[in-house]
């Protein structure tokens, strides 16, 4: 199966089986659909994740529509405006999907990001710290999905 324009993957099996029990698809939005700084190498090497890259918000929207993406990560080169486009697409196509945005140390983010629960990581960021952050975010998302609303029984 061919990947859509602007989408690459570090796992060749992802084009056939994007996720399976024990493996989750992570969508990294990065200009040029790549990882020039090696920030995502550790995540890409892990057996429990499939890392897919999209070079633009439009390509990311297609991925969100077509693949069971567990988490969206906006790389440091993604503009504030493009993060807004990603947030809108994620909210429309996958309400509640977690999102991490990697920003430069002094970059500001709009207050709407905090209201939508976007996690912001600051550069410089080590690949190991990113990997741990992804684990935490996905663990929190699983915990929230399993919690009962007031008056309901917990889901199992």
DSSP assignment of 10-52, as one string? S-GGGGT-S-BTTBEEEEEE-GGGS-TT-TTHHHHH-TTEEEE
What phi and psi, each to the nearest 5 degrees, are found at residue 52? -115, 145
Domain chopping of the chain, boundaries: 7-145
Q: What is the pTM of this model?
A: 0.80
Pick the CATH number of 7-145 from 3.40.50.720, 3.40.50.2300, 3.20.20.70, 3.40.50.1820: 3.40.50.2300
Length of the chain: 156
pLDDT at 4: 45
* Prior bond of 119 cis (ω within 30°): no
Which positions ≥6 away from 147 have C-beta within 8 Å? 154, 155
pLDDT in tens, the chain (156 residues): 344 455 555 543 444 445 566 799 999 999 987 887 899 999 999 999 999 999 999 999 999 999 999 999 999 999 999 999 999 999 999 999 999 999 998 888 999 999 888 999 999 999 999 999 999 999 987 777 665 433 333 433
């Amino acid at each position: 199966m061919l990947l859509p324009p602007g989408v690459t993957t570090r796992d060749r099996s992802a084009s056939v089986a994007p996720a399976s029990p024990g493996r989750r698809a992570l969508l990294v939005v990065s200009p040029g659909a790549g990882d020039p700084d090696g920030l995502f190498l550790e995540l890409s090497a892990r057996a429990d994740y499939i890392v897919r890259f999209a070079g633009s918000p439009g390509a990311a929207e297609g991925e969100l529509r077509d693949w069971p993406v567990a988490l969206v990560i906006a790389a440091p080169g993604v503009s504030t405006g493009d993060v807004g486009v990603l947030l809108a697409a994620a909210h429309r196509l996958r309400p509640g999907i977690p999102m991490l945005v990697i920003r430069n140390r002094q970059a500001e983010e709009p207050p709407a990001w905090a209201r939508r629960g976007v996690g912001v990581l600051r550069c410089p960021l080590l690949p190991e710290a990113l990997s741990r952050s992804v684990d935490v975010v996905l663990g929190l998302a699983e915990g929230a999905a399993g919690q009962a609303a007031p008056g309901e029984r917990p889901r199992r």
